Structure 1
Amino acid sequence: MTSDRPGLDLRRLQRRMRLLEVGVDLLGAGDGPAVSVRAACRAAGVTERYFYESFADRDTYIREVYAEVGEQARAALVTAVSGAETPTETAELAVRAFVALVLDHPEAGRVLLLAPLRDPALGGRGLDLAPSFVVLVQDQLRGVADPDERALRALGLVGALTSLFIGYLDGTVTVPRERLIRHCLDLLDRAARP
């Protein structure tokens, strides 16, 4: 008698990944989060039994969807800048990678930037990801000698960029994509000056 355990584990992982995918669409919906266990199951094509094999409850699910998108964003930025040779090239590649993530996949952008403000299950989760983004920005401010000043500028810049992208996602910022990219790069350039 052979065990089908690897097959069961694979199917469980596939269901979990499918639930996380639909969670991005539900949590990042344009008209606001619409996440319930029933909605997630319906969208993923699974029963609630399978939902609960992966997630304890709705709030755990939302937090894991958010963490998944946060990790995707961090990985996209790290990958984008890995081949850069100059600070200017690094900044442009990072900005373009983040713009692609947020604007080409607005649901993911809304999960990352708006969901922490809209869904109580996330509470202050947006603050959990901020330090990793601040460190990425700080690395671009090498021209600023004082480490405290570099940290302050990086934190302020992450706040400004976050506000810009939120504005783009909610429709209050309506400039063309390239102009947004140029503006973000200009902010980075100004912050990097000694």
Structure 2
Amino acid sequence: MQLLGGSGGPALTVRAVCRKAALTERYFYESFADRDEFVRAVYDDVCTRAMNTLTSATTPREAVERFVELMVDDPVRGRVLLLAPAVEPVLVRSGAEWMPNFIDLLQRKLSRIGDAVLQKMIATSLVGGLSSLFTAYLHGQLGATRRQFIDYCINMLYITAAPYVPAGELGKSQ
């Protein structure tokens, strides 16, 4: 994961992986057909962890805080999820395949909004906006404290969804 999500961008070769893991190339090829399969496996693992983190959250604040812990406290993981698909050709397709999963998850969390089309549009815009925010935060481009960043993300979730949530439902968990 460190080789794929390094601060200077991916530096992942089979030899580098074997050196980092203290394995022989033979062992590598017993587990993976090639470099691309390994890269996809690393990316899928990071995406699965992110989905599990978000799925288990019961409130927007909990979801954002857990996601920050997962992606910002371990910036290598954050760079793999958010940046690697843009610079690693084998992940272009994987990134496009995973994005709808994150949108669907958020759409399910928007269950108090009765219109499925609105749910989908809100979820799509929020995932896109939050992805951009997390990317900028990982790059140190926002100048925000951790608390400011978390609070802004939570406010963004509420402000975007609030106009479509029936009166009396806003602020309840999920």
Q: 2:10 aligns with which of 33, 44, 67?
A: 33
Q: Output the CA distance in 1 between the equivalents of 2:3 and 2:63.
A: 27
Q: Output the CA distance in 1 between the equivalents of 2:145 and 2:97.
A: 30
Q: 1:62 aligns with which of 35, 39, 45?
A: 39
1:129 CA drift (Å): 1.4
- 1:31 alignment partner, SS class: coil
For CA contacts below 8 A with separation 6 or more, give which structure has more relative contact order. 2
> Where do 1:161-176 residues align within 5 Å?
161-176=130-145
Q: Output the CA distance in 2 between the equivalents of 1:152 and 1:101.
A: 26
Count residues with an aligned counterpart: 163
> Where do 1:107-146 residues align within 5 Å?
107-146=76-115
Identity among equivalent pairs (%): 44
- 1:25 alignment partner, SS class: coil
Amino acid of the structure 2 residue aligned with 1:106: P
Query: What TM-score do the two structures reach when normalised by structure 2?
Result: 0.89
1:124 CA drift (Å): 2.6
1:78 CA drift (Å): 1.9
Query: Would the aligned equivalents of 1:142 and 1:192 in 2 still touch at CA under 8 Å?
Result: no
- 1:27 alignment partner, SS class: coil
- 1:139 alignment partner, SS class: helix
Aligned structure 1 segments of 4 or more residues deviating by more than 3 angstroms: none
Q: 1:44 aligns with which of 11, 21, 31?
A: 21
- 1:123 alignment partner, SS class: helix
Structure number with greater Rg is: 1
1:142 CA drift (Å): 3.2
Gaps of 5+ in 1: 1-23, 85-89
Deviation string 1:42-98 (CA, Å, 9 cap, x unpaired) is 00001100000001111111011100111111112223x2xx3xxxxx111111111
Query: What TM-score do the two structures reach when normalised by structure 1?
Result: 0.81
Give the superposed CA RMSD: 1.1
